[in-house]
Amino acid sequence: MELNELAISRLFPMRVMNQTNATQICEAFLAQIEGRDDKIKAFLHRVDADEVLEAAAAVDKHAAASSELVPLEGMPVALKDNLCTIGMPTTCSSKILKDYVPPYNATVVDRLADQKAIVAGKVNMDEFAFGSSTESSAYQVTANPWDLSRVPGGSSGGSAAAVAADMAAFALGSDTGGSIRQPASFCGVVGLKPTYGLVSRYGLVAFASSLDQIGPITKNVIDCAAVLEIIAGKDPADSTSVDREIPSYTGKLNGKIEGLKVAVVKELMGHGFQKEINFALDNAVLLFEQLGAQIEYISLPHLEYALPAYYIIGPAEASSNLARFDGVRYGHRTADADDMLEMYMKTRAEGFGAEAKRRIMLGTYALSAGYYEAYYGQALKIRTLIIQDFEKAFADHDILLSPTCPTTAFKQGEKLEDPLQMYLSDICTIPANLAGIPAISVPCGVASGLPVGLQIMGKHFDEVTLLNAAFAFERAFGWNLKPMFRDPSAKEK
């Protein structure tokens, strides 16, 4: 296998034993980006190859003089384009932030830099993270490496596609309603949404501040745990980050889950789901049982209201957060305006895409006088009931299982004209964001040549149990399939 096809957990021991180095690793990933990204279109901004190799050479020089190496040192990372980076554009895939270069780094970017991880570039996303397919980007449509005619999921579609296509050793995404887990499922990789408050959001361009979390997308669970160890922890710059000791997540991975109390959520399976998805879930449950876990099927009655509650709370917070993009301080400004009000209106009309405008209008309406309590207030009450459902479930169980998505990756353009169908893609992932609990997607099968993801949800700040359960399942399941880069359009020609 080529170096870029290996997980960090394989590359790191090779570096320790001097079987390879950061320069060779980066060369392999750069060659893959050069050879694949013209069709995948994951990267919006690539770091110049000479800069990447210069950084890799510096890592090798440091390694030669040091007695200790760390796992992420010299590993190329792809960053979702809503994470602020000094000297590199951060556009959120929106015209309103075209060519915007922040004067500071997101905290997670600085933490990766401290470990000498090497940024390969910024990757595509749905505009301001509004979407489930990466088709609302103002710049390009990213393809799924398994089938180039299908979407990679969203909004972190570029992050998942880059990892699945072996163009990055790992990636960071953000998850507001499933934006890490859903593309991880569609692309056959691992994606984790940490507990709300575990990872600093400083430098993440906000979508919905009470829901957003930054998390890793990786090739396996060990890599996911290794990245989380670095990016987790209290940050004085983020008042919502929680001050608690960060354990060695990798050190806790023993794969022993005998006696683990596992619940399968009835509301997140069955009717309306692709037949093969239900089949894959049944197989996953059977495997957990064979590993010694205790299985029970439970009901979380208020989950049926999660989707409508989310699509009031999310747009409401988004309309408030996006008010700052007005053409005055940074980003796009219209060239044709006679007064300040016209400048605001034309700037936002020109800068925002259709989905961003839809969510701004929905959110502004939900927060408007006379409607606030009827919509936003009621949605917050539903959110409380959902949180209470999870609390009851976790009083008797260690983890909860469901499919990550009701379907496999759909075709590009298939749901663009039907926003409701697009929103339904997140029906399994949204509840974890509303409750603030951690959740991970791991590959659990294939349907018609496309990956299927298993979602595992855990208790607040119990990523140790969550990751170990995912690790045990991954090891027993033996996922080793790679994307086929099918191109139906090539056959048509």
Domain boundaries, the chain: 3-254+473-492
pLDDT band for 490, please (50, 70, 90 cuts): confident
pTM: 0.97
- Looking at residue 3, its pLDDT comes to 98
DSSP alpha helix (H) spans, 71-180 = 107-114, 157-164
Which CATH class name applies to 3-254+473-492?
Answer: alpha beta
Distances (CA, A) of 250 to 69, 225, 401, 465, 473: 15, 5, 22, 11, 15
pLDDT digits (tens, 9 = 90+) for 395-431: 999 999 999 999 999 999 999 989 889 999 999 999 9
Q: What mean pLDDT, rounded, does the chain reach?
A: 96
d(CA 25, CA 10): 12
Give exposure, 355-390, as e/b (b: 16+ Cβ within 10 Å). Answer: bbbebbebbbbbbeeeeeeebbebbbebbebbbebb
pLDDT digits (tens, 9 = 90+) for 167-202: 999 999 999 999 999 999 999 999 999 999 999 999
pLDDT digits (tens, 9 = 90+) for 45-68: 999 999 999 999 999 999 998 878
Residue 288 has pLDDT above 60, yes or no: yes
Q: Which positions are catalytic?
A: 80, 155, 179
